[in-house]
Amino acid sequence: MEAYLDNAATTRVFPEVRDIMLQVMEKDFGNPSSRHTKGIEAEGYVTKAVQQIAGTLKCQPKEIILTSGGTESNNMALIGTALANQRAGKHVITTRIEHASIHEPFGRLEQMGYEAQYLPVDHNGHLQPEVLEEAVREDTLLVSVMMVNNEMGAVEDIKKLVAVAKQKNPNVIFHVDAIQAYGKYKIVPKRLGIDLMSVSGHKIHGPKGSGFLYVRDGVKISPIILGGGQQRGMRSGTENVPAIAGLGEAVRLIYQQHSEKVERLYALKQRLIDGLTAMEGVSINGINGLSLTETAPHIVSASFDGIKSEVMLHALAQEGVYVSSGSACSSNHPDLSGTLKAIGVEDRLLDSTLRFSFSVLSTEEEVDHALEAVAKVLPQLRRFVKK
């Protein structure tokens, strides 16, 4: 059998998502900007998806901008904020464990004359509120912190971080990368004080190339894609209606019986951790002194002492087990994980770590197959290394 345990990289679309996308591509294929019946039908799919998204966030539909996914949403949030608020301050803050789609735009902001500050985290990947409080200044324009780390599943206390940042400087704009959090947690941005929030569709069984950015009403950002003025001028270009319709359906489905879904994910996570830690030379990252529910329900970062992660990954793939050696979006870059370095993982384990990640479609049988595969290949690889 196969065990697909790389769901933090991407998920399989729900059958209902596939069906609505085929409907839009084959029958309701109009341009939503067209004023004839076909166009109005297409526009209806876009409107419905936005309403579905807004319903999960308890926000206004006008606070949602549809995008091509998490990377675009993050770029729009960071660069769009900088362009729209150039006189408000030139200091921007993030952490050392953010995704490349945050770090790279921060690099661009530095090229634009902004001062970027990258804050350290503790051994579990948490940004401590006092560290952020000390960093925030009068000229701090923006703070960006991911809610769930994509490599090890650390969960940040966003509400507390927002509170300390805005107590120090009420004008700070707070952005949250919720790409690994949305669908796993019920997130109401206004209750948490979030100004901007990025989400990607293909992490929640929606299509690749779909996502959205939440922009709190009253927050100023400038568009970074210009053209025909779609989405109130905030994101020009003909809307990808099939993907948007699929995203809306995925959003609807992922939050049905949500508590039961999350409880089941934690059970799978515990099953995997119990099996892995029973093996010699295997350690779990980012859970030191924490209860399981203080970490994300779907991500396990495991280090295999003495075995290169790429070697282990390919050995498991031959057994039909599919995992990741880090962030899939950075798989073409061979650098060792900055996240693992930031939490103090020993140097000898930096290149010996794999990420296992679940979805609501994952099964106990997949976890058991993965554990059997690890138990099989680990001693074989260690014997090879010793030779």
* Residues acting as catalytic residues: 329
- The DSSP output letter for 1 is -
Q: Rounded to whole angstroms, how far apart are CA atoms 169 and 176?
A: 17
Token pair belonging to 273: 């951790």
Question: CA 43 → CA 211, 223, 232, 242, 265, distances in Å?
Answer: 17, 21, 14, 11, 36
Amino acid at site 159: K
Q: Rounded to whole angstroms, how far apart are CA atoms 322 and 356?
A: 8
Amino acid at site 345: V
Q: Rounded to whole angstroms, how far apart are CA atoms 213 and 230?
A: 15
Residue 45: strand pairing partners: none
Token pair belonging to 52: 């579905």
Q: Rounded to whole angstroms, how far apart are CA atoms 123 and 146?
A: 16
Q: Contact, 69 vs 210, CB < 8 A?
A: yes
Pure H helices in 37-183? 37-57, 70-84, 100-111, 129-135, 158-168
